[in-house]
């Protein structure tokens, strides 16, 4: 599953960003407040290149991702996309890729789409990963979404599936998660892989 998710995300992001002008490449990405569109692409290319070359020390820390951006600060976006394509082809030859790589790719694709004002990531992309993650992250919760129930825990949460999916990756604030329709104590700290945002993010 994750090999296909990663390959298709790379293809979509290349299609979204190839040929963007300087103004769009300099646009801030609200979900990654310290990055521009160009810097987000630099991270995607850098992460793939590091996996292929074995430069994984410190992953997935802020320092590791910051190095991707710093090393590619002056690299044209078309060259970054070519770097990502070359590394991606090598990754596609691996017997198994880290699931984190695939999840990172579609998370940043969603970030990118919001920054560029494009339509939201299709449900066929993020829903399978939500189904996979929810019982692992929230074993005490039954999550009721627009496409069915996930899990069988004693606490019930009624929430838009995309909102929960974005929250898993730190794209929603604690206040936003607490405002969801919980039937009991909300295990907020078990939701995000990364710390929640300090401010609300609406997409």
pLDDT digits (tens, 9 = 90+) for 1-21: 899 999 999 999 999 998 899
pLDDT band at 57 (very low <50, low <70, confident <90, very high): confident
Checking if the pLDDT of 59 tops 80, the result is: no
pLDDT digits (tens, 9 = 90+) for 84-94: 999 988 897 78
Residue with tokens 């951006």: 69
Looking at per-residue pLDDT, the higher value among 57 and 137 belongs to 137
Largest alpha-carbon pair distance within the chain? 52
Helix, strand or coil for residue 174? helix
Nearest residue to 133 (alpha-carbon basis) of 167, 171, 96: 167
* Average pLDDT of the residues of the chain: 94
pLDDT band at 63 (very low <50, low <70, confident <90, very high): confident
DSSP class of 96:
-
Beta bridge partners of 29: 32
* pLDDT, position 105: 96
Say how far apart CA 109 and CA 40 lie, in whole Å.
Answer: 9
What value does the CA radius of gyration of the chain take, rounded to a whole number of Å? 17
Say how far apart CA 192 and CA 166 lie, in whole Å.
Answer: 9
* pLDDT, position 61: 83
């Amino acid at each position: 599953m994750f090999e296909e998710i990663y390959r298709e995300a790379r293809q979509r992001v290349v299609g979204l960003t190839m040929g963007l002008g300087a103004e769009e490449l300099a646009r801030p990405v609200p979900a990654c407040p310290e990055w521009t569109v160009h810097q987000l692409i630099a991270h995607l290319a850098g992460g793939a290149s590091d996996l292929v070359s074995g430069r994984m020390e410190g992953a997935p820390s802020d320092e590791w991702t910051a190095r991707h951006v710093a090393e590619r600060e002056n690299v044209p976006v078309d060259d970054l996309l070519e770097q990502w394509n070359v590394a991606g082809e090598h990754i596609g030859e691996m017997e198994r890729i880290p699931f984190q790589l695939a999840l990172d790719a579609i998370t940043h694709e969603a970030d990118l789409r919001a920054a560029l004002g494009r339509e939201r990531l299709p449900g066929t992309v993020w829903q399978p990963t939500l189904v996979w993650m929810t019982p692992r992250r929230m074993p005490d919760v039954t999550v009721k979404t627009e496409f069915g129930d996930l899990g069988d825990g004693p606490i019930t949460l009624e929430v838009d599936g995309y909102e929960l999916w974005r929250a898993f990756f730190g794209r929603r604030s604690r206040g936003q998660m607490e405002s969801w329709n919980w039937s009991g104590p909300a295990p907020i700290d078990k939701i995000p892989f990364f710390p929640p945002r300090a401010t609300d993010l609406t997409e």
